[in-house]
Chains A and B, each alone.
Chain A
Amino acid sequence: MSKPSDLVQGTLDMLILKILALEPLNGWAVSQRLKQMSSDVLGVSDGSLYPALHKLEHRGWITAHWKPSGNNRRAKFYSLTRLGRKQLEKEAADWNRLSAAISGIVKLKEA
């Protein structure tokens, strides 16, 4: 139950949106994708994934549908809404600005 660092907490939403922007997925798949994509660096626990998914759903950024999954069972698939796509664009832009600024600072040569 280790808490992700503050930075990750803030960007978890964006990551989820990004993942769902590629294709609709269920919770399990999102967690796998997160691990893959971030090469386990971020260490997002599955425990914080689900509350985040539910929060995003309530914001109207993603929407959920129950669809049959592999072994004859129904699974909850999340997909991005139009509002979510806009949000993703906004957050991505913010992120790019922020990371550019930070890396600029980090790369400064010491005098």
Chain B
Amino acid sequence: MTFEWFYSLPLRLRSFFRRNQVDQELKDELRDHLEQQIKENLAAGMSPEDARYAALRALGGMTQIEQQCRDARGGNVMEDLVQDLRYGLRQLYRSRGFSFLAILCLTLGIGANAAVFSWIEGILFRPYPAVAHQERLLAVGGTARGETGGTGISWPDFLDLQRSCTLCDAFFVSKITGSTLNIGDHAEITTGSIVSANYFEAIGVHPVLGRGFEPGEDVGNDAYPVAVISYQLWRNRFKSDPQIVGKTQRLNNVPHTIIGVAPEGFYGTFVGWAMHFWVPASMEETFESGGYKLQDRGARWIEAYVRLKPGVSRAQAQEEISAIATRLENNYPDTNRGRGIKLWPLWQTPFNNAGTLLPTLEIMLAVGAFVLLIACANVGNLLLVRSFARRHEMTVRLAIGATRVRLMKQLLTEGLILSALGAAGGLLVAYWCRHALVLLFPARSGVAMYLPGEIDLRVMSLSVGICLIATVIVGLVPSFQTRNINLTAALKAESSGVVGDRRKAWVRSGLVVFQVCLSFILLVGAALLLQSLQKIRTTSPGFSTTNVVETGVSLSSAGYDVPHAKTFQEELIARVRALPGVESAAFARVTPLGYGTYSSTPIAVDGYQPPLEEQPAVDYNQVSADYFATLGIALLSGREFTRADDENAPLVAIVNQTMAARYWRDQNPIDRRIQVKGRSLRVVGVAADSKYESMRERPKPFFYVPLLQDFVRGPSLYIRTAQPLQSISAALLREVHALDGNLALYEMITLQEQVDRSTSAQLVAVTLVSILGGLALLLAAVGLYGVISYAVAQSMRELGLRMALGAGTASIFRRVISRGLRLTALGVLCGAIAGLALTRLFGKLLYHVSPNDPLAFASAVAVMTITALVACLLPAWRATRTDPARVLRN
């Protein structure tokens, strides 16, 4: 059997492409036979007339034999296809309105899916197109025993990992940082990465100008002020200066020598933001607050990646890394007890936007599938209606000898044309939407998010796969129609214009119920997410969000050594407090819910025995006097920090409620002591719990130390004032420039804005699900409208009769509407039952909202009902306009 193709394919191709010649040969062959037969008949003594006639009869119908031979050749598959395509296109062109609607539905359905695929591909699976072998890259993060959240890892730990890991090709660091970039007298904030010296080597990206970093450039403190800049920065800020290498630019006020320009299309290794410069880790202190950390094993600040050797699985690598982590735990119990190191697939990277967007994109896959199914149901419905109109055509074709398979092929071909056009449109939609995800994040000044979708071969083939599925669904629905055509009955009935029977109405209604059901589930999902967003936005973060603005001054380094920075900060805060309308002002190193990472430290508390194997480590923040008053965080007991808590005063701390409860049980922690990094701090106050890193976090132990006792340069500044943002911003800039004209202010935002930004992933989820939910609703409404309109058109006679017998318009109206509502109710019922099981999928995205929240279900029912009413209104109105006289006469 397998060899057959070897022989038949050339013949098939020949009969397809050289059809005329093959036909001619066939005719010749048969004519030959005929002539021989005639000759023989003549020899047998027949008259020429009889000889010819007898020969023809013996052979039997030339045309039929020719056709039989053609069929035997089997080249007809392609011939049929071309014929079907041509015919299908003509049919679709003839009913342009129908075709347009069908293609539009499929475009939206396939487009929604292709767009989601492209985001998943570009953001989760292939986020770094320029990086070599990104399929073997894994993200590396730290874990702490007994805690769910991840941490960074420390530089000394990284070096040990890099040295000991045998299963990986490369181990490198890339830690995002913001920086003030000064070019000429223009200062702007830009994003970049602090990287290990092997960075460019490891990812296989070679600067187009200059060089990458050399081994050893990540050693020392402020030892190598060199930078590689992005192609865009080079083009936009340096006007593509070919002599750029060797020039300097000021990053955080430190002159950096530009040693290289990254290639075009390389945006670094951070999902969510485009990186514009890279500096070696030796410059850490210039870019990271919290002091010099390259020798501090307790400072877990870096984000790292590892590339596995080919053929090594994540589990194998994890095993090795865990073994190394255990060894580090034993060697350095003070800093590493209870600390693990975990490998993550890129799409679960905990420290960039991949992890944030993962649950949303997962949901979007399901939502996209729903929209596609609804769109297919719509097109199926449209095709059904059309197949009634084409019933006559089908019947006639069957009557003159077409096989049902042949008709089915024809219908599938038409489905294929529709879905191929839909897929083309869908890919176009996806192409337009591939960068659209960024738009859903709230804008912030200075830097733009970068979340590119990627339409590559995988996305394309997935879309084509979807298109084929759609073809089958869309093509097979009407082919049910051809199954039971009773020829004689149909041919007779057709002429009298009686169309459609109960069974077909049932199929169409079933499709609508299905659509309503799916879109109802999406509505519930959208309602749940909306409610959750509402909750998250209205939950108090534990600090005031109104009347407090946050900004910062970029003096974190050069020019400002610690004493100068201290003086500057003192003077600035005094000036700010004196501004009219300012109630209070304070500094803190890390902004709550911001992108900065808190310092974390092992602690010891007198009288508290930690569970074995656990090294209690607690996050803390360095805050100035008046911090609690300014942010509106309640003090439950004790006192606030004052300016007297400076470097010369005894060391003090304020703990939060949870910390007090955990480490001092029911006793009053005031005046008790905690040991931090060999220093003993006296607890002077207990603050209420608040949110520190995420609105979704649970209360956790936390403490505060006075800024002056653990000083950092360039902390964030908080101002409590009722004045509008612009005026306070302008006033602040005046004061800053009065002190130093060279300084730039960070973006000034309200704390509400800060909260909103930290919950932007929820906003994105709500927006996306709402958009697609709305789309689904629209499609379902169109489907419902179609079915009801069709039902009305079909029962004109019945309606006319009813009216003639005295039914009022109100009762006719009610009849039509109630039919639509019955279908809707059935769909909602199915949707509600399915929804109870399916909305659990939203669980990860929900905040304090049950997946079966009755309010969400109720509001979805309301929206669905209103939509259904609107969809039925026009057909119902049309029904009441039936003219009984005319309908009955016809």
Residue-wise interface mask of A (41-79) relative to B, using a CB-CB cutoff of 8 A (1 in contact, 0 not): 000011100111011011110010010010001111000
In the assembled complex, the CB of B867 is this many whole angstroms from the nearest CB of chain A, namely 57
Within 8 A of A (CB), among B54-108: 58-61, 64-65, 68-69, 71-74
Q: Are A75 and B32 in contact (CB under 8 A)?
A: yes
The answer to whether B7 touches A45, judged by C-beta atoms less than 8 angstroms apart, is: no
**Which B residues are in CB contact (< 8 Å) with A69?**
32
In contact, A52 and B32 (Cβ under 8 angstroms)? no
Q: Who on chain B is nearest to A66 by CB?
A: B25
| Known interface pairs A59-B7, A83-B7; A27-B72 also in contact (CB < 8 Å) | no
**Residues of the A chain whose Cβ atoms lie less than 8 Å from the Cβ of B795:** none
A68-111 interface (Cβ within 8 A of B):
69, 73-76, 81, 83
Min CB gap A66→B, angstroms: 8
Q: Which residue of A lies closest to B29 (CB)?
A: A76
In the complex, chain A residues 2-34 whose Cβ is within 8 Å of any chain B Cβ: 26-28, 31
Residues 332-346 of B contacting A (Cβ, < 8 Å)? none
Task: Give the CA-CA distance A74 to B29 in the complex, in Å.
Answer: 9
Q: How far is A52 from B32 in the complex, measured between Cα atoms in Å?
A: 17
B506 at the interface (CB under 8 A from A): no
Which residue, A31, A46, A74, has most C-beta atoms of chain B within 10 A?
A46
Do B60 and A52 have beta carbons less than 8 Å apart? no
Kindly list chain B residues whose C-beta atoms are within 8 Å of the C-beta of A55: 72-73
Q: How distant is the Cα of A74 from the Cα of B24 in the complex, in angstroms?
A: 13
- Complex-state Cα separation, A60 to B4, whole angstroms: 6
Closest CB of chain A to B622's CB: distance in Å? 85
Residues of A within 8 A of B811 (CB): none
For B69, give its contact among A28, A31, A54, A66 (CB under 8 Å).
Answer: A54
Q: Which of B25, B26, B60, B74 contacts A46 (CB 8 A)?
A: B60
Q: Are B32 and A26 in contact (CB under 8 A)?
A: yes
| Set of chain B residues within 8 Å of A76, measured between Cβ atoms | 25, 28-29, 32
Q: Point out which of B33, B71, B74 has the most chain A C-beta atoms below 10 A from its C-beta.
A: B33
Q: Report yes or no: A58 in contact with B8, Cβ–Cβ below 8 A.
A: yes
User: Measured between alpha carbons, how far is A69 from B64 in the docked complex, in Å?
Assistant: 26
Residues of B within 8 A of A73 (CB): 32
In the complex the two chains form, is A60's CB within 8 Å of B29's CB?
Answer: no
B73 in contact with A54 (CB, 8 Å): yes
Interface readout for B663-700 with A: 1 if CB under 8 Å, 0 if not? 00000000000000000000000000000000000000
Report A57 CB to chain B, min CB distance, Å.
Answer: 7
Residue of B nearest to A2 (CB): B60
Residues of A within 8 A of B33 (CB): 27-28, 31, 46, 50
Asked whether any CB of chain A lies closer than 8 Å to the CB of B461, the reply is no
Q: Tell me the smallest distance from the CB of B189 to a CB of chain A, in Å.
A: 73
Task: Indicate if the CB atoms of A27 and B32 lie closer than 8 Å.
Answer: yes
Report the nearest A residue to B68, measured CB to CB.
Answer: A51
Q: Collect the chain B residues with CB atoms within 8 Å of residue A54's CB.
A: 26, 69, 72-73
Please give the distance in Å from B315's CB to the nearest CB on chain A. 51
Verify if B6 is at the interface (C-beta below 8 Å from A): yes
> Could you tell me how many residues of chain B have their Cβ less than 8 Å away from some Cβ of chain A?
28
A residues in contact with B71, CB < 8 Å = 51
Within 8 Å CB of B801, what residues of A? none
Of the listed residues B64, B71, B72, the one surrounded by the most CB atoms of chain A closer than 10 A to its CB is B72
Number of interface residues of A (CB under 8 A): 26
Interface contact A28-B6, CB-CB below 8 Å:
no
Which residue of chain A lies nearest to B15 when distances are taken between CB atoms in the complex?
A58
CA distance A69 to B73 in the complex (A): 24
Residue from the list B7, B60, B65 in contact with A60, Cβ < 8 A: B7
Inter-chain contact A50/B65, CB cutoff 8 Å: yes
Q: Are A60 and B32 touching (Cβ within 8 A)?
A: no
Could you tell me the distance in whole angstroms from the C-beta of A56 to the nearest C-beta in chain B? 9
Q: Please, how many angstroms separate the alpha-carbon atoms of A60 and B30 in the complex? A: 21
**Bound state CA distance, A81 and B65, in angstroms?**
25
C-alpha spacing A45/B58, complex, angstroms: 7
The yes or no answer to B11 lying at the interface (CB within 8 A) is yes
- In the complex, the answer to whether A50 meets B3 with C-beta atoms within 8 Å is no
Bound-state CA distance A74–B31 (Å) is 12
Q: Distance (Å) between the CB of B302 and the closest chain A CB?
A: 67
Complex-state Cα separation, A50 to B33, whole angstroms: 10
B68 contact from A50, A57, A83, Cβ within 8 A:
A50
Q: Name the residue on A nearest B40 (C-beta).
A: A32
Min C-beta distance of A24 to chain B, whole Å: 15
Which one of B11, B29, B32, B36 contacts A58 once the chains associate, using CB atoms below 8 Å? B11
Q: Which residue of A lies closest to B8 (CB)?
A: A58
> With contacts A50-B69, A76-B25 known, is A1 near B36, CB below 8 A?
no
Contact with A along B1-28 (1 / 0, CB 8 A): 0011011100110000000000001101
Q: Which residue of B lies closest to A76 (CB)?
A: B29
A50 to B71, CA, bound (A): 11
Closest B-chain residue to A46, C-beta based? B59
> Which residues from B are CB-within-8-Å of A52?
72
Min CB gap B551→A, angstroms: 82
- Interchain CA distance A83-B5 in the complex, whole Å: 12
Distance to closest chain A CB from B55 (angstroms): 9
| Bound Cα distance A100, B30 (Å) | 37
Q: Would you give the shortest CB distance from B559 to chain A, in whole angstroms?
A: 87
A1 to B63, CA, bound (A): 13
Contact A58 B59 (CB under 8 A): no
Closest Cβ of chain A to B67, distance in Å, is 9
Q: Which residues of B contact A60 (CB under 8 A)?
A: 3-4, 6-8
Residue from A58, A60, A73, A83 with most neighbouring chain B CB atoms (10 Å): A58
- Measured between beta carbons, the chain A residues less than 8 angstroms from B68 are 47, 50-51
B771 CB to nearest chain A CB (Å): 54
- With the chains together, A66 CA to B28 CA distance in Å? 11
Residues of A within 8 A of B6 (CB): 60
Q: Of B11, B61, B69, which one neighbours A51 at CB under 8 angstroms?
A: B69
Q: Chain A's nearest CB lies how many Å from the CB of B28? A: 8
The one of B8, B60, B73 that contacts A45, using a Cβ cutoff of 8 Å: B60
Say whether B7 contacts A81, CB under 8 Å: yes
Contacts of B69 in A (CB 8 A): 50-51, 54
Given known A-B contacts A27-B32, A50-B68, A58 and B7 have beta carbons under 8 A apart: yes
A residues in contact with B29, CB < 8 Å: 26-27, 50, 75-76
- B1 to chain A: closest residue by CB: A59
Q: Is the CB of B8 within 8 A of A59?
A: yes
Listed residue (A45, A52, A59, A73) with the most chain B CB atoms within 10 angstroms of its CB: A59
Q: Looking at B58, B61, B65, B74, which has the most chain A CB atoms within 10 Å of its CB?
A: B65
Given contacts A31-B33, A83-B3, A83-B7, contact A51 B60 (CB under 8 A): no
- Residues in B neighbouring A27, C-beta threshold 8 A: 29-30, 32-33
Contact of B36 among A28, A50, A51, A63 (CB under 8 A): A28
Which chain A residues lie closer than 8 Å to B74 at the CB level? 58
Distance to closest chain B CB from A50 (angstroms): 5
Contacts of B61 in A (CB 8 A): 1, 47
With A50-B65, A83-B7 already in contact, 8 other A-B pairs whose C-beta atoms are closer than 8 Å: A27-B29, A45-B60, A51-B72, A58-B73, A59-B4, A63-B7, A69-B32, A75-B29
Contact sample, A vs B, 20 pairs, CB 8 Å cutoff: A27-B30, A28-B33, A28-B36, A31-B33, A47-B60, A47-B61, A50-B30, A50-B33, A50-B69, A51-B69, A54-B69, A58-B8, A58-B11, A58-B72, A58-B73, A60-B3, A75-B29, A76-B29, A76-B32, A83-B7
List 3 tightest A-B contacts by C-beta distance, closest first.
A60-B7, A47-B60, A51-B68
